[in-house]
């Protein structure tokens, strides 16, 4: 027993020593909380030049890490193993993170550039008075399609995707809410539906789509569609704008049955170490010229009203990506469905992906 206790103490002391050495190395390498800012964002969702500009302006070192889904981001932050100072979740994720105590309130006095945000994007239901978040980008989910590859056919409806002539011609983004939402909307149900009979019906309809689905993919869809590897993609609006810029045969439509209107906002996670630096970064990104530069690079619509004057008119006047608010009443924002229902959505989506195989 004495040897066991001695062994345990030795292992504990060694672990503490390794932790101390690791912390010292991080500090020596410039990764301490005070002079470092860790940003957690979607892939390819910021102009790298802005990061460099921010570093020069503030003297802070930015460590930029990426995620590919709100669920992955929330799980990583909830685990608490890695410290993040700024993250960019979507609206329903913000609602969920708020419920779980994963967010720090923002100090609006340190965000003077918040005044440049269009009031239509402030004080929304998922974050009243923007206590925890400020707008970053917004957009829709829809269909990008190649007119030439479809022989001039025009896509207007989700149900067009079930056309037997589109065999092996469709790419889907790898997102449970997006794909399940598409099927629900095609049946004229809400994309926030929690009726299990409706969800099973949507799953059966997705199974019927399998012959037309070439692949379920991630960011590579932005390469495959412009290169005409497939005629159709279900995508986020900003990705569609980027694709259209590379291939003028492409067009983008939000289906008539309805779709998702989404908002991505900047937040400070509860585990943040550099809260002052986080506010500096958020305020930097709210600067109209920086917001315009970011929007032009990423391809998504900016909620920064003042930034619009710095963007080319062919961008801001394109109603596919900057639609009039009075014409998008048929679109829905994702709601926080709760852990059990979200798990059910994910389960059905996984079954659909397995059905393809």
Binding site feature residues: 92
Name, in order, each residue with C-beta under 8 angstroms of 245's C-beta and a sequence gap of 6 or more: 299
CA distances (Å), origin 78, targets 81, 85, 225, 243: 8, 14, 35, 34
Residue 182: enclosing H or E segment and its boundaries?
helix 176-186
Give the span between the Cα atoms of 271 and 120, in whole angstroms: 30
CB 182 within 8 Å of CB 279:
no
Q: How many CB atoms lie within 10 A of CB 43?
A: 11
Distance from chain centroid for Cα 158: 22
Residues composing the chain = 357
What three-state secondary structure class fits 1? coil
The one-character DSSP state at 270 is T
CB 136 within 8 Å of CB 88:
yes
CB 164 within 8 Å of CB 306:
no
Q: How many CB atoms lie within 10 A of CB 259?
A: 25
The half-sphere exposure of 256 on its side-chain side, counting CA atoms within 13 A, is 6
The one-character DSSP state at 164 is G
Q: Which residues are annotated as a binding site for spermidine?
A: 92
């Amino acid at each position: 027993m004495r040897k066991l206790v001695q062994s345990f103490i030795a292992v504990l002391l060694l672990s503490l020593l390794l932790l101390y050495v690791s912390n010292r190395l991080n500090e020596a390498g410039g990764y301490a909380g005070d002079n470092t800012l860790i940003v957690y964002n979607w892939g390819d969702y910021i102009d790298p030049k802005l990061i460099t500009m921010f570093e020069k302006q503030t003297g802070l070192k930015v460590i930029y890490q990426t995620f590919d889904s709100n669920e992955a981001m929330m799980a990583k932050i909830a685990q608490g193993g890695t410290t993040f100072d700024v993250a960019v979740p979507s609206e329903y994720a913000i609602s969920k993170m708020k419920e779980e105590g994963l967010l720090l309130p923002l100090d609006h006095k340190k965000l003077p550039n918040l005044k440049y945000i269009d009031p239509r994007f402030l004080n929304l239901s998922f974050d009243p008075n923007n206590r925890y978040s400020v707008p970053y980008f917004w957009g829709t989910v829809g269909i990008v399609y190649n007119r030439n590859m479809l022989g001039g056919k025009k896509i207007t409806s989700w149900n067009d995707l079930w056309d037997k002539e589109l065999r092996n011609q469709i790419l889907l983004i790898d997102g449970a809410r997006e794909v399940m939402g598409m099927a629900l909307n095609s049946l004229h149900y809400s994309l926030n539906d929690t009726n299990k009979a409706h969800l099973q019906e949507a799953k059966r309809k997705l199974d019927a789509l399998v012959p037309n689905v070439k692949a379920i993919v991630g960011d590579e869809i932005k390469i495959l569609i412009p290169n005409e590897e497939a005629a159709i993609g279900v995508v986020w609006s900003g990705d569609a704008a980027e694709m259209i810029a590379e291939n003028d045969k492409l067009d983008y439509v939000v289906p008539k049955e309805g779709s998702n209107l989404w908002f991505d906002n900047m937040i400070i996670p509860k585990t943040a170490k550099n809260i002052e630096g986080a506010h500096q970064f958020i305020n930097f990104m709210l600067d109209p010229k920086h917001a315009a530069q970011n929007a032009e690079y990423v391809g998504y619509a900016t909620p920064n009203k003042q930034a619009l004057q710095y963007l080319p008119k062919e961008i801001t006047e394109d109603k596919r990506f900057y639609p009039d608010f009075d014409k998008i009443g048929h679109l829905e924002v994702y709601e926080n469905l709760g852990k059990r229902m979200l798990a059910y959505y994910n389960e059905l989506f996984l079954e659909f992906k397995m059905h393809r195989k």
